[in-house]
Amino acid sequence: MSDTTIRRIEPGDADWFLAADELVWADDEAGDRQDRLQNTPTRAGFAAEQDGELAGISASWDIELAVPSGMTGSRLVPAEGLTWVGVHPDHRRRGVLSAMMRHHLRWTRDEGRSLAALKASEPGIYGRFGYGLAAQSLKAKFGRGAQFAAPSEVSDLADATRTTFRTASPDDAQRLHALMRRCAVEGACGAVVRHIDDLRRLLTDIPEQRRDRERNRLLWATRDGEDVGYALLRRTHKWDDGLPGGEIDVFMFGSTDTGARLALMRRLVDFDLMGSAINWMPLDDPLLLWSPSPRGVGSGVTDSLWLRIVDLSAAIAERGFAAPCDVRITVQDKLIEENDRVWHWVVDADGTGALEPAAGEADLSLDIVDLGAVWLGGQTLGARHAAGFVRETSEGAVAALDAALRTASQPTKAVDF
């Protein structure tokens, strides 16, 4: 295997970084060089060198992730959002990605962060590095005029909610950031909140990068003068046999309560010239529960968020639990040796968890991948036990830990990053 070293990107690497990105993604990005550089992650960019040549790039967004606070509600914890991963086509399958991943996970831990997350281009890549599939989402396409059979209390709340439609601007960043944080804490876990600087850049219009679509638009939901929801979207015109059938692509969506969620969606299926609104969501999102069934709405489930626990003790201290438990577990972690051992995991009656090093035989054994998969409530240890990934030596240990990890609902769809 060739020798690969990882170093921080330097200002002189900018053109190489952009050129490598185009080559890897088969994409000639339009737009001014300065605009494109502005959209690169500022927290940390890394270059991989192999045999004296620049061979790979990767970077990290500064994100907050909503983890369970117990059975309901969430708390925001800082996390690293891996992005811009690319290996020069001449260097692929020679261990460059593996070297970058080892570096990223160690760096994340050294930065004092317990969690690393990513959105994968292909699903087969990241499990080997300890990432578990933490959240999945359905591509839901609601036709114009779709009806939502929400209970009257929710419907009344939606009736009391006002929606306003505006062109998005970087000046919205502060308001949107504050609202996203509230929605993340008050809603289901799994929401990702981008750093305010990244949000500001995201809301900056770069005409060359619109690709035949309109500018970003923002739909705000307010009630009693307070922000209660948002949708960031773009519309595309389509004409079928002379009839308007445009599509609304919703790529950020959040609400502090179900009434706001309903109000936003009612508005999204009532736009002139638009035939449908596409919004990604977990199978138990209230919007799907208010529909007769996902049939006819959903067109495929995909992996949404991959989660890697890099510091298990810290992650347990940061998360809330739904039930007390007391188990000994063996954790296998090939890349972070501090995680790789027998642990005594206790959750007290208040749902506060703690981990102590232990020895001897454990009640169950699993891989760090299993914990990433169940952390946000997207999978259960029971299902992973049935699939043969988790091994139980003391009867009831899997059920006890599952009860502690339980969440009221599936993790919400995380914004792309």
Site for ligand COA contains 337 (CB under 6 A): no
Q: State the CB neighbour count (10 A cutoff) for residue 179.
A: 23
Question: By C-beta, is 80 or 318 nearer to ligand COA?
Answer: 80
CB 258 within 8 A of CB 154: yes
Question: By C-beta, is 17 or 345 nearer to ligand COA?
Answer: 17
Site for ligand COA contains 103 (CB under 6 A): no
Interface with ligand COA: number of residues (CB under 6 A) = 17
Q: What share of the chain is helix, strand, coil (3-state, %, to 5)?
A: 30, 35, 35
One residue of 20, 47, 79, 120 binding ligand COA per CB under 6 A: 120
CA distance 82 to 80: 6
CB 9 within 8 A of CB 43: no
Question: By C-beta, is 95 or 246 nearer to ligand COA?
Answer: 95
Pick the stretch among 67-75, 115-123, 205-213, 260-268 that binds ligand COA (CB under 6 A): 115-123
Residue 211 to residues 18, 244, 371, Cα–Cα distance (Å): 19, 20, 39
CA distance 220 to 227: 7
Site for ligand COA contains 24 (CB under 6 A): yes
CB 366 within 8 A of CB 329: yes
Site for ligand COA contains 353 (CB under 6 A): no
Supply the minimum distance, in Å, between the C-beta of residue 108 and ligand COA: 16
Helix H or strand E segment including 381: helix 381-386
SS3 144: coil
Pick the stretch among 63-71, 114-122, 312-320, 404-412 that binds ligand COA (CB under 6 A): 114-122
The dihedral through the CA atoms of 191, 194, 200, 206 has a sign that is: negative
Question: By C-beta, is 22 or 270 nearer to ligand COA?
Answer: 22
Site for ligand COA contains 128 (CB under 6 A): yes
Write out the two tokens for 253: 């969506």
Question: By C-beta, is 85 or 268 nearer to ligand COA?
Answer: 85
Site for ligand COA contains 98 (CB under 6 A): yes
Question: By C-beta, is 230 or 417 nearer to ligand COA?
Answer: 417
Question: By C-beta, is 121 or 209 nearer to ligand COA?
Answer: 121
Residue 342 to residues 36, 130, 315, 345, 367, Cα–Cα distance (Å): 47, 17, 16, 10, 12
One residue of 41, 68, 81, 86 binding ligand COA per CB under 6 A: 86
Supply the minimum distance, in Å, between the C-beta of residue 303 and ligand COA: 11
Supply the minimum distance, in Å, between the C-beta of residue 59 and ligand COA: 11
The footprint of ligand COA (CB under 6 A) covers 24, 85-87, 92-98, 120-122, 124-125, 128
